[in-house]
């Protein structure tokens, strides 16, 4: 059996991660057999390399290898594309045509994004896997076929089955062996290796010296969560190779190419597809909840201070009774007050404390104004100070006429 190092060299795979090595080992082991394989992993992790390895190490290596992106074929024509059609089967079918499965007869067919197959096509695929037979669209006679099927998906298949979007029997028939490719964030030692490879490739392509990163930039590169995985890293290397004039790049330059770099240590959502609106609404809800929580705490503190003054007891003791969370000092002129007995503070009276309007809208407007003043009108800085996104700040400025 070929060792993993030679497999990487032969198929151009970069990485030293144990998780990657495990996936390659499984691919090598199943290659000599004809069992079906399901490759799983997030979008952009390089799932298309696994079926090439399986085909290249199998007895089918001299037969056709066909890769099909199931998510890119319209639902109305996918059966014809996969299984072929007879003349007159539908409008525009002026002649008989072989499908991808017939073209791959004797070899391997790779069905990328197999989770996107419509239900009728899933039934046809199940028949191929179970009996080796298929029927062209518009035909009445079944044809035999000898083909190895390898599927790949970034969809949560069990969730799709639960939601009635994927057949359970097809899943278990297709998933005889599952090979999972880890996301790039779980392969930190491989990130810089891949970047150097991509940088060298693009330097050769565009006839430029290869870009390099200093130590701080390398650390940032390895700490970033890479939601787009290897595809995103490759695009980054190409952009920097073309745009940057300096060939040694630092952390600040790299930051400009990394979206949401400050959230690099947060886990990424996997196997979840949200619309732009749902993401926006979720972010807004979290920001609003945090802001309202702050406002309610401020109101509780002010009410506690007011009650303590009105009761005539020691301000500190009253504050502790009304709102135990409050400790420390509070001076109106300095933003804090020393808690003393009222008798010892003759000039102190209830009017000294200005009870502000506690309307949530008014407080929100006031906070935004203060943040903008503090940042000299720089909205990006103000948004960071408020703990909200810049897009949300723009919306609130417009809503409250704060231009």
What CATH number is given to the structural domain containing 148?
Answer: 3.40.50.300
Same domain, 236 and 333: no
Assess whether pLDDT exceeds 60 at residue 392: yes
Contact 85, 96 (CB under 8 A): yes
Last residue of a domain, one of 263, 288, 315: 263
27 in a domain, yes or no? Answer: yes
Residues 136, 68, single domain; the answer is yes
Last residue of a domain, one of 263, 287, 317: 263
Check whether residue 236 and residue 356 sit in a common domain: no
CA 244/CA 282 separation, integer angstroms? 36
Are residue 17 and residue 128 in the same domain, yes or no? yes
**One domain, residues 251 and 238:** yes
The answer to whether 177 and 217 are in contact (CB under 8 A) is: no
- Domain assignment present for residue 378? The answer is yes
What is the reported pLDDT for 272? Answer: 42
**Domain encompassing residue 359:** 276-399
Domains: count for the chain? 3
pLDDT at 167 over 70: yes
Q: Comparing C-alpha atoms, which of 211, 296, 288 is closest to residue 254?
A: 211
Quick one: tokens of 243?
């745009």
Domain boundary among 182, 201, 236: 182
345 — pLDDT class (breaks 50, 70, 90): very low
Same domain, 125 and 199: no
Given this model, what pLDDT does residue 283 score? 56
Same domain, 171 and 45: yes
25 and 158 part of one domain: yes
DSSP conformational letter for 52: H
310 falls within a domain = yes
Mean pLDDT of all residues in the chain?
81
CATH code of residue 193: 1.10.8.60
The answer on pLDDT for 85 being more than 60 is yes
> What pLDDT was estimated at residue 325?
45
Helices (H), 154-275: 157-162, 168-174, 188-206, 215-223, 229-243, 251-255
Q: Is 269 contained in some domain? A: no
What residues form DSSP beta bridges with 106?
none
Contact yes or no for 402/369 (Cβ under 8 A): yes
- What number is the average pLDDT over the span 9-19? 93
In a domain? residue 56 = yes
| Contact (Cβ atoms closer than 8 angstroms) between residue 237 and residue 198 | yes
Q: Are residues 325 and 241 in the same domain?
A: no
Residues 60 and 152 in one domain: yes
pLDDT digits (tens, 9 = 90+) for 287-296: 666 666 666 6
Q: Is residue 295 part of a domain?
A: yes
Strand 133-134 to strand 143-144: parallel, antiparallel, or no bridges (unpaired)?
antiparallel
384, part of any domain = yes
Residues 237 and 196: their CA atoms lie apart, in Å, by 8
- On whether residue 70 sits in a domain, the answer given is yes
Q: CB–CB of 264/232 below 8 Å?
A: no
* Whether residue 139 sits in one domain with residue 201: no
Q: At residue 28, does pLDDT exceed 70?
A: yes
25 and 160 share one domain: yes
Model confidence pTM above 0.75: no
pLDDT in tens, 249-287: 999 999 999 987 765 444 444 444 444 444 445 555 556
């Amino acid at each position: 059996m070929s060792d993993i190092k030679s497999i990487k060299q032969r198929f151009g795979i970069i990485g030293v991660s144990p998780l990657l090595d495990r996936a390659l080992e499984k691919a090598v082991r199943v290659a000599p057999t004809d069992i079906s394989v399901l490759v799983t992993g997030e979008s952009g992790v390089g799932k298309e390399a696994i079926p090439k390895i399986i085909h290249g190490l199998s007895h089918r290596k001299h037969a056709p290898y066909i890769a099909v992106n199931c998510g890119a074929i319209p639902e109305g024509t996918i059966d014809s594309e996969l299984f072929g059609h007879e003349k007159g089967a539908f409008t525009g079918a002026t002649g008989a045509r072989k499908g991808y499965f017939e073209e791959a007869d004797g070899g391997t067919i790779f069905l990328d994004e197999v989770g996107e197959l419509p239900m009728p096509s899933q039934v046809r695929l199940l028949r191929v896997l179970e009996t080796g037979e298929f029927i062209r669209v518009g035909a009445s006679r079944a044809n035999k076929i000898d083909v190895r099927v390898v599927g790949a998906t970034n969809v949560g298949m069990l969730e799709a089955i639960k939601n009635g979007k994927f057949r359970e029997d097809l899943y278990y028939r297709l998933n005889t062996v599952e090979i999972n490719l880890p996301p790039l964030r779980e392969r930190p030692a491989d990130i810089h290796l891949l970047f150097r490879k991509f940088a060298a490739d693009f330097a050769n392509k565009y006839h430029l010296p290869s870009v390099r990163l200093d130590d701080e930039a390398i650390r940032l590169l390895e700490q970033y969560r890479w939601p787009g995985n290897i595809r995103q890293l490759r695009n980054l290397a190409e952009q920097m190779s073309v745009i940057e004039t300096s060939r040694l790049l630092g952390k600040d330059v790299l930051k400009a190419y990394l979206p949401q770099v400050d959230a690099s240590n947060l886990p990424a959502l996997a196997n979840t597809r949200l619309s732009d609106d749902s993401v926006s609404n979720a972010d807004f809800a979290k920001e609003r909840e945090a802001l309202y929580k702050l406002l309610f705490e401020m109101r509780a503190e002010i009410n506690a201070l007011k009650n303590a003054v009105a009761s005539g007891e020691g301000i500190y003791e009253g504050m502790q009774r009304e709102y135990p969370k409050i400790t420390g000092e509070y001076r109106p002129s300095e933003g804090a007050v020393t808690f003393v007995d009222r008798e010892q503070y003759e000039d102190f009276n209830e009017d000294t404390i200005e009870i502000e309007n506690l309307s949530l809208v008014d407080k929100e407007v006031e906070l935004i104004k203060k943040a903008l003043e503090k940042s000299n009108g720089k909205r990006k800085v103000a948004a960071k100070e408020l703990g909200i996104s810049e897009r949300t700040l723009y919306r609130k400025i417009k809503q409250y006429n704060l231009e």
